[in-house]
Structure 1
Amino acid sequence: MSSITTRHFLQSAGILLAGLVLAACGKQEPPAPAASAPAPAASAPAPAAKVYLVGTDAAYAPFESQNEKGEIVGFDIEVVQAVAQKAGIEVKFVNTPWEGIFNTLNQGDRDLLVSAITITAERKQTMDFSTPYFDAQQLIAVKKDSKISKFNDLKKLKVGVQNGTTGDEVVAKLQGKDSANIKRFESTPLALKELEAGGVDAVVADNGVVVHYVNNNSGANFKTVSDASFVAEQYGLAVKKGNTELQEKLNKGLADIKTDGTYDKIYTKYFGSPAAPAPAVAASK
C-alpha cells in the first residue's frame, strides 16, 4: 500500500470537510406541520323560549290585584303560574284594563287572558277557553240595614256593576240594557265604594270578589244577598280563537295541578277551604 503525504492528506481532509459543510448547509428543514382544519363555525344560539303575555285586569281581588310593590298577585295569578310550570312554558303578566281586554287578545297583543273571565256562549264565538278552573255565581252586596232580600227587589233601584261583566248582563236583563238606574264602573271595587258612599242601592258582582271585599272592609257595614235565580258560572283561561296548541298546553297544566293537589292548596290559601265539586252542568249565558 503506498504512503500518503501530509500535504495530500490535508488536501483530502479539506475537500471532505467542505463537502460536509455544503451538505449541512443544504439540509432541508423538516416540513411544517400541516395546517389544522378550520374550526367549525360557531353554531347559532338557540332561539329564546317564547314568553307568553298574560293579560289581566289587576283590580279584582282576590283573583288579581297589585300589592304594595306593584306586583300582580292573586288566585288567578298563582293558578296560571302553576299551570305554566306544568306545561313547560314561561309567562309574563301584563296589567290590562277590563274594557278592551278582549281586543288585546284578538289583536295578538296578549297570548292569553286570566281575569275571572266567565265562559259564555257569546264569548266563545270570538275566543277559545281552557277547561273551567273556578265555579262562581253572582252575589248582591247591600248595606246592613237594607230591606233588599232578593234579586227582583233591584228592579227599580240604583245598582252598581262592573262594565261588561256577567253582573252587568244579569242586571241589564232585569232592568233593561239602557236603564238609567244601572251605574257602570271600571272595576267592582269602585262600584262597592260607590255603595259605601250611598251612590247606589246595591252592587251585583261575582261572589268571590264581593265576599272578599265584605270580609276585608268591615267598616263599610255591608251584607250579602244570594238569589236562586243566579245560575252557576265557570271561569276559564281565554286564548285567541283557533290557538289549539296553547289551549291544549293550558288544559294539560290545569289537569296536572288538580291531580297533584296544587290547585287545592292555592284555592284554600285564598278561600279558606278546598274547592267544592263542580256542578254537574255549568250554565252558559
Structure 2
Amino acid sequence: MKLFVLYLLVLMPQLAQSKELKLVFGLSLPPYVISENETGIEMDIIREVLEMDGHTLKPIFTTFEKVPILARKKGFAGAATVTKDLAKKNLFITDSHIKYQNFAITLKSSKTTINGLNDLAGKKIVAFQNADKYLGNEFKEAVGKAAKYEEVRFQEVQNRGLFNKTFDVVIGDINIFKYYNQKIKDVDTSPEVTYHAIFEPSHYHMAFQNKEIAEQFNKGLAKLKSDGRYQKIIDKYVKSDSML
C-alpha cells in the first residue's frame, strides 16, 4: 500500500508536466479562431497561457457538435470554447477566457431605437446562421414579427447588407462585425453604427481532462490579463474599443 501511495505521489506531478496538448476547437470563426493559420484572438490567448507552463498547443478542428464529445476521448487533452455544463462530463472547466457579445447593430444615421427584442418588429434583419436557435425562443418570436429576417453563413454578407441599406439591423458579435469591417474593401464601411445592447454576453471556458493543467491555465490567464497582454492580443485583430 505504501508503495502504491508513493507511486501516485511521483506520478501526479508528471501528469501536468510540460508537453504538447492536443485540444479540440470548432471550425474557423474569425477573428476568434482562424483555422487556416491557427491564429485568432482565442487561439492566441490559449497558446500564450499554455506556454507559461511550457505546454505547446496542438489544435484539432472539428464541427462544433463534436467538440464536447472529443474533449473526453483518449488522446486529447481537452477542448476550447465550451460552456460550464461540461463539468458534469468528468472534465475540469477553467475560468472564462473569452466572451462573445452579440448586439443589434444599426446605422447611426437611421436613428433607430432598440431597447429590447420587441423593438425588432417591423425591421429588416440579418443574423448569423442558427441565431434563432442560439439566442432563444424570445428572439425567435421577436424576429417572427420582422418585416424581413434572414440568417446567413458569411459575416461579410451581414456587414455589406447593413452599409448597402438592404437591412436595417445586423444581429451579431461585436468583434466579428468589426473584424470584417476592416476586411471589406468594395463597400464603404466608414459610416458610424450604433450597438444596441439587448443580449447577455456568452462566456466560454476551456475544458481539460487534467485538473492540474486546468489550475495552471487559470493562473496563467489571470497573469495574461493583469500584465496587459490579453488586451494586446485583442488589439491585433480589432480596434481597441472592442467590448470583448
2:121, 2:142 within 8 Å by CA — same for their partners in 1? no
Match status 1:169 vs 2:131: no
Contact 1:58–1:72 under 8 Å retained in 2: no
2:48 aligns to what SS in structure 1? helix
> Cα deviations across residues 105-140 of structure 1 (Å, max 9, x unaligned)?
24457433334x5x5x65665565321234442123
Name 2:101's counterpart in structure 1. 137
Q: Which amino acid aligns with 1:152?
A: N
1:117-266 equivalences in 2 (<5 Å): 119=83, 128-141=92-105, 149-150=113-114, 151-155=117-121, 159-163=125-129, 168-170=133-135, 172-176=137-141, 183-184=150-151, 188=155, 202-217=169-184, 219-220=186-187, 224-231=193-200, 233=201, 235-240=203-208, 243-266=210-233
- How far 1:88 sits from its partner (Å)? 2.1
Which of 261, 266, 269 lines up with 2:236 in the alignment? 269
- Alpha-carbon deviations, 1:188-216, whole Å to 9, x = none? 45665777899976442221111212233
The CA deviation string for residues 1-30 of structure 1, in whole angstroms up to 9 with x for no partner, is xxxxxxxxxxxxxxxxxxxxxxxxxxxxxx
Residue 82 of structure 1: CA displacement? 0.7
The alignment partner of 1:236 has SS state of strand
What is the deviation of 1:61? 1.7
Question: Percent identical across equivalent pairs?
Answer: 18
Mark the CA change 1:260 to 1:148 in structure 2 (over 3 Å): closer, same or farther. Answer: closer
2-structure distance, mates of 1:172, 1:252: 37
Give the equivalent residue in structure 1 for 2:53. Answer: 87
Matched, 1:113 2:79: yes
Letter matched to residue 133 of structure 1: H
Distance, in Å, in 2 between the alignment partners of 1:178 and 1:271 is 29
- Kept after mapping to 1: 8 A contact 2:108/2:194: no
**8 Å Cα contact 2:100/2:203 also seen in 1:** yes
Find the aligned partners of 1:60 and 1:205 in 2 and give their Cα distance: 12
Give the TM-score normalised by structure 1.
0.58
In the alignment, the residues of structure 2 paired with residue 148 and residue 275 of structure 1 have an alpha-carbon distance, to the nearest angstrom, of 22
Unaligned runs of 5+ in 2: 1-16
Gaps of 5+ in 1: 1-47, 279-285
TM superposition score normalised by structure 2: 0.65
Moved more, 101-110 or 140-149: 140-149
1:131 maps to a residue whose letter is: D
Matched, 1:76 2:39: no
Question: Larger helix proportion, structure 1 or 2?
Answer: 2
Tell me if 1:65 matches 2:34: yes
Distance 2:193 2:110 in 1: 10
Whichever of the two has the greater Rg, that structure is: 1
Q: What is the aligned partner in structure 2 of residue 34 from structure 1?
A: none
Q: Verify the 8 A CA contact 1:140 1:224 in the aligned structure 2.
A: no
User: AA paired with 2:199?
Assistant: F
Q: Rate the CA distance shift 1:227–1:168 in 2: closer, same or farther, 3 A.
A: farther
Bigger RCO (CA 8 Å, 6+ sep): 2
